[in-house]
């Protein structure tokens, strides 16, 4: 399974394209569409490089979701890929969201699990609130 264009658009909508390295709200150097691996202060990239980083990062997030071996519809898959793309596979793997997913992918309380991931450094971020709402809405649509 691969992320659909709807899922990619969700991620791009929340990961604004930036061609110069910047510190995200979590204090991590970031570039492109939320790419963090190997980014150094002062780095710049092209839109084509940003798209390539996005493909690589999507593949990692998709792999983390696929490893659950849970039968998912496209919207569920896309929502989870967006979530993993943002929080990382290791946090996803230790999350209650994943535990509930493994028990019952249709469990309505999964929506509440998305909404728990709205903080960075203890601060509630409106951008994360909106992203989690969008992910939960997509997951259950």
Residue 85 CB neighbours (<10 A):
26
Concatenate the DSSP letters of all residues of 16-51 into one string. --EEEEEE-TTS-EEEETTB-TT--TT-B--HHHHH
Rounded to whole angstroms, the Cα distance separating 124 from 38 reads 27
Nearest to 135 by CA among 89, 68, 85: 85
Catalytic site positions: 15, 24
């Amino acid at each position: 399974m691969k992320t659909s264009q709807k899922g990619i658009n969700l991620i791009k909508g929340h990961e604004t394209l930036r061609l110069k390295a910047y510190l995200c709200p979590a204090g991590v150097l970031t570039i492109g569409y939320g790419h963090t691996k190997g980014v150094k202060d002062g780095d710049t990239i092209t839109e084509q490089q940003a798209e390539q980083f996005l493909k690589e990062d999507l593949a990692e997030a998709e792999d983390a979701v696929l490893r659950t071996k849970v039968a998912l519809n496209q919207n569920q898959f896309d929502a989870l890929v967006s979530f993993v793309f943002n929080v990382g596979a290791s946090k996803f793997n230790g999350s209650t969201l994943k535990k509930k997913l493994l028990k019952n992918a249709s469990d309505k309380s999964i929506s509440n699990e998305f909404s728990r991931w709205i903080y960075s450094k203890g601060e509630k971020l409106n951008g994360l609130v909106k992203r989690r709402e969008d992910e939960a809405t997509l997951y259950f649509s």
